Amino acid sequence: MNDTQDLFPTRLERKLGMFERIDPVVYGDKSQRADGPLSNTDIEDYERKGFLSFEGFYDSEKMEAFLQELRDFEDDPDLKLSEGTVLEPGREEIRTIFGIHEVSERFSKLTRDPRLLAIVKQLLGSDVYIHQSRINYKPGFKGKGFEWHSDFETWHSEDGMPRMRALSCSIVLTDNGEFNGPLMLIPGSHRYFVPCVGRTPENNYKESLKSQEVGVPPQSSLRELMLNNDIEAPKGPSGSLVIFECNTMHGSNMNMSCWPRSNLFFVYNSVENTLQAPYCGNRPRPEFLANRSDWDPLEPLDEAF
Bridge-partner residues for 107, per DSSP? Answer: none
Cβ–Cβ under 8 Å, residues 69 and 111: no
Cβ–Cβ under 8 Å, residues 186 and 300: no
Minimum CB distance to ligand 6CS smaller for 36 or for 217: 217
User: Which stretches of the chain bind Fe ion, using CB under 5 A?
Assistant: 151
Cβ–Cβ under 8 Å, residues 196 and 154: no
Cβ–Cβ under 8 Å, residues 227 and 154: no
Of all residues in this chain, which one has the CB nearest to Fe ion in the complex? 151
CB of 250: closest distance to ligand 6CS in angstroms? 8
Minimum CB distance to ligand 6CS smaller for 36 or for 139: 139
**Which partner in ligand 6CS, Fe ion, none is near 46 (CB below 5 to 8 A by kind)?**
none
**Which partner in ligand 6CS, Fe ion, none is near 229 (CB below 5 to 8 A by kind)?**
none
**DSSP annotation of 279:** T
Verify binding: residue 148, ligand 6CS, rule CB under 6 A: no
d(CA 137, CA 87): 10
Minimum CB distance to Fe ion smaller for 122 or for 136: 136
3-state class of 265 per DSSP? strand
Q: Which of 21, 49, 121, 149 binds ligand 6CS (CB under 6 A)?
A: 149
Helix (H) or strand (E) holding 114, with range, is helix 114-124
Minimum CB distance to Fe ion smaller for 96 or for 240: 96
Using CB under 6 A, list all residues that contact ligand 6CS.
Answer: 132, 134, 146, 149, 151, 154, 205, 208, 212, 289
